[in-house]
Amino acid sequence: MKSHAKAVVIGGGVVGCSVLYHLARAGWRDVMLIERSELTSGSSWHAAGGFHTLNGDPNVAKLQAYTVQLYKEIEELSEQSCGLHLTGGVMLADSPERMDFLRLAHAKGRYLGMETELITPSEAKAMFPLMDERHFVGAMWDPVEGHLDPSGTTHAYAKAARKLGAEIVLRNRVTELTQELDGTWNVVTEQGTVKAEHVVNCGGLWAREVGRMVGLELPLLAMEHMYLLTEPMPEVEAFNRETGREMIGVIDFKGEIYTRQERNGILLGTYEKAAKPWSPRETPWDFGHELLEPDIDRIAPSLEVGFRHFPALENAGIKQVINGPFTFAPDGNPLVGPVQGLTNFWCACAVMAGFSQGGGVGLALSNWMVDGDPGFDVWGMDVARFGEWASLRYTNAKVRENYSRRFSIRFPNEELPAARPAQTTPLYDVMTRDNNAVMGDSWGLETPLWFAPPGMEAKDIVSFHRSNDFAHVGNEVRAVRERVGVTEIANFAKYEIAGPGAAAFLNRLMTNRMPKPGRIVLTPMLNETGKLIGDFTIANRGPDGAGERFMVWGSSAAQIYHMRWFEKHLPADGSVRIHRFDQTLVGLSIAGPQARAVLDQLADTDVSKEAFRFMDFREMAVAGATCMVNRLSYTGDLGYEIWMPPAYQRRVYEAIKDAGSAHGIVDFGMRALLCMRLEKNFPTWFRELRPIYGPFEGAMERFVKLEKNDFIGREAAAWEKADGPKLRRVSFIVDAGDADVMGDEPIWARVGDTDYGTVEKLHGYGAPRFDASGRAISGGGANGRDADAAAVRGIRDGAWRVVGWVTSGGYAHHVKQSMAQGYVPAALAEDESDGLFEIEILGQRRPARINTLPPFDPDGARMRS
């Protein structure tokens, strides 16, 4: 074993081997994988080996498509078969709601280049004759699904990595990790110590233990998972004989079942409601190639449904039941990337679908380690998306919830109940008990979404359509626009960045000029490639010894992500200090034409229009409590954000309500706030603004000062400006029915033959196109469907083409319009004509018109008033 390596990957499951391969492929040949036992000694060896490209997050879906595409490459390089069977598969809908869900997934697939098709139950039966079609209302066909040999695939990655010069050391446990002052890691193993620049935790079932070696409590948990294999079935053999094809994969949501052909029989697995964690606190080091005791009773309810839906299975003999553990993060997506607060310590853990996602995880992580950036939008699986509140107990509750809901529909207005409340502000009981608020989970913090009137149960009726909150959110919006409202804004990220180097540091990171004392600016933040990685409000608090103090507000969910970036760029001379407040600073916002009148009664300072101007920042007493106040509001109205330590929040809130009563003040929630920002065309972080867009694409040019000083991403942004952005963020007025957009809907345009570049190229990759024997396929997959690829993908229809995608939207109650924001080719972004665009909502194409000016207060007079 070598004593030095550029990077040591801990763990030889499918994920560790993929990371090793990608590092070597990216040119880091001096890399080493250390495995406790043999390769695949965690969950990888007993996997069912299924793979697919569909994922709720389009960016994760792209990385899954890459994973599937990669198998041919590693097979060729390693000369090791992955045992690929690209059979295609169907998802079966048993209810209209599930069919709506499939319509959404299908529509999303249009701009990702996926070739899914909505089909009838009889069409599905022709591909999978074991099903009784009377139980279903429809289905979705996906040609890029199949299964593989888990062990062969893991070894193919490993052999390919070795061919590129990587070293693999087996039967050698890593027992300790320490770091020298110069950042070098000591990877202490049973066979000696390796000095490494980088360490990657691919410990799979033991990832928590490897994390604990460096003081980390990673939010992941292993769950028991069962699948069974039948004896050979005559029905399967007959189908193979008659069609010359293998049976396809099937997901039956109602039964929480996935199934596919295995040899001459069937493999059937379940994600049962009675989900069971395995070894919840720690994983024993002596656990190895053993399986867990099967527990058929636990999956009996799913099997009962399965036998009804697939009657032939009831008579099939069961050859074997596999029960094995594998790990999940609280939201079911992987934990990937560098860990904030540690240098060169990386994670690729909690990969619950290693054979769908392992390649994408390896690619993203190796890009990140080698180039400093993952190269894609990997937020959905970034290890930084969880905060301190994601404790062992939180993780346990959330993972069980996620596992048991794997095949359940998540409605756009659905808040999940497990592990709540995790964090509350001092107003929690006032909001829930006195004000009848419907609460939502905002990065672990309970936040009011809307307020139900007295006597009504404070509960969302979950739906893809407008629901029971519609009228009440409308009332909140109207009250703010006509009078005044107050809302909690504790769920923002808040930082103080101070010291002699603070101004220079922020000027280097941000695209806008930093404000003068007492003033505020809005500013995006870019990565080196000129893509949006943040959007902040920054106020100058004034002098701080030799430097200045800046208050910075951003997206709550991105605070670990942003701290990681801030710390990476901190000057080594200690001239900049960063403090993240999290819930030690909370906030209230008052907005509406009477907002000044309310504040005036509570402040001991002059808050007149002249003394406290739009985009001013003041430290002042509000109701006698020391607060920081920003004169701005995300509602786009006259408004103030008032920030204070939690100890003052109740008193300030009560004083605002008292002072506001004469003006008809109301409480309003997050839903009303987000609705009001829509009618101002304001973007939101993670929906409109993400690392796949440049600042000019995102229509943020007002906040990008290319000439101010050299900032990170400036050169790339200058190129984007000079070349002209390819895409452009726009707002639409939509002729919607009783459902508004939710995000991720395709945008169609009547553009005839004009080609703006295929949408899947604009958005990222298309899906792979090869069959099990490596032959390229166009359009259909192994079920023999063959048609024009673009038509199958549904991105063309006569003169209409899919040209873009929706990022978010909803009903804008004040202007009484259904609105959407999204991205379209820049050449179309100014065209406000009727009849040019349609947005596909729940399978129906609805007319939409670009609205370049915000429908509410287009010249900003209200917020400046």
The residue ranges that bind ligand FAD (CB under 6 A) are 10-16, 34-37, 41-44, 46-51, 173-174, 202-206, 210, 225, 227, 322, 324-326, 351-356
Alpha helical stretches, state H, 727-850: 759-763, 789-793
Cβ 43 to ligand FAD, closest distance in Å? 4
Least gap, CB of 163 to ligand FAD (angstroms)? 20
Angle at 222 between CA 217 and CA 226, to 5 degrees: 175
Separation between Cα atoms, residue 401 and residue 473, nearest integer Å: 29
What is the closest distance, in whole angstroms, from the C-beta atom of residue 340 to ligand FAD in the complex?
21
Instruction: Using the minimum distance from each CB to ligand FAD, give the nearer residue, 267 or 503.
Output: 267
Question: 39 CB contacts (<8 Å, ≥6 apart)?
Answer: 12, 13, 17, 151, 154, 155, 158, 168, 170
Among all chains, which residue has been given the structure tokens 């626009």?
Answer: 481
Given the complex with ligand FAD, which of 35 and 133 has the nearer CB atom? 35
Pick the closer one to ligand FAD by CB: 320 or 844. Answer: 320
- The DSSP code for 584 is G
HEC string for 357-386: HHHHHHHHHHHHHHHCCCCCCCHHHEHHHC
Q: What angle do CA 232, 42, 231 make, to 5 degrees?
A: 5
Q: Which is nearer to ligand FAD, 324 or 810 (CB)?
A: 324
Shortest Å, Cβ 267 to ligand FAD: 9
Per DSSP bridges, beta strands 485-488 and 445-451 are: unpaired
Task: Decide whether 206 or 411 has the Cβ nearer to ligand FAD.
Answer: 206
Task: Name the minimum Å distance from CB 289 to ligand FAD.
Answer: 10
Nearer of residues 14 and 160 to ligand FAD, judged by Cβ: 14
Q: Which helix (H) or strand (E) holds 731?
A: strand 727-734
**CB-wise, 210 or 233, nearer to ligand FAD?**
210
Strands in 273-334 per DSSP E = 277-278, 318-328
By beta-carbon proximity to ligand FAD, the closer residue of 21 and 451 is 21
Partner residues linked to 451 by β-bridges: 437
CA-closest candidate to residue 694, choices 524, 843, 540: 524
**Separation between Cα atoms, residue 216 and residue 284, nearest integer Å:** 18
d(CA 349, CA 450): 36
Q: Residue 747 Cβ, how far from ligand FAD at the closest point, in Å?
A: 32
Would strands 265-270 and 257-262 be described as parallel, antiparallel, or unpaired? antiparallel
Find out whether 447 and 640 touch, Cβ atoms under 8 Å.
no
- Given a contact cutoff of 8 angstroms between Cβ atoms, the answer to whether 580 and 559 are in contact is yes
Please identify, using beta-carbon distances, which residue of 174 and 842 lies nearer to ligand FAD: 174
Q: What is the 3-state secondary structure (H, E, C) of 556-572?
A: HHHHHHHHHHHHHCCCC
Pairing of strands 666-667, 800-812: unpaired
Who contacts 578 (Cβ-Cβ below 8 Å, separation ≥6)? 495, 496, 497, 563, 566, 567, 570
Closest separation in Å from C-beta 396 to ligand FAD: 18
| Cα angle 159, 160, 162; round to 5 | 65
* Smallest separation (angstroms) from ligand FAD to the CB of 434: 46
Cβ closest to ligand FAD, residue 326 vs residue 837: 326
286 vs 710 by CB, closer to ligand FAD? 286
| Count of CB atoms situated within 10 Å of the CB of 706 | 16
| Beta carbon of residue 148, minimum distance to ligand FAD (angstroms, whole number) | 9
Smallest distance from ligand FAD to CB 17, Å: 7
Could you tell me which residues come within 8 angstroms of residue 570 by beta carbon, excluding any fewer than 6 positions away?
Answer: 505, 576, 578
d(CA 796, CA 790): 6
State in angstroms the smallest separation of the CB of 68 from ligand FAD: 11
The CB-of-519 to ligand FAD minimum distance in angstroms stands at: 49
Among candidates 302, 312, 297, which has minimal Cα distance to 256? 302
CB 533 within 8 A of CB 379: no
Q: What is the largest CA-CA distance in the chain?
A: 87
Q: Measured from the CB atom, is 132 or 217 closer to ligand FAD?
A: 217
CB of 257 to ligand FAD, least distance (A): 13
Least CB distance from residue 41 to ligand FAD, whole Å?
Answer: 4
Closest CA to 488 of 594, 638, 595, 644: 644
Query: Which CB, 252 or 616, lies closer to ligand FAD?
Result: 252
Our CB check for ligand FAD shows the closer of 325 and 374 to be 325
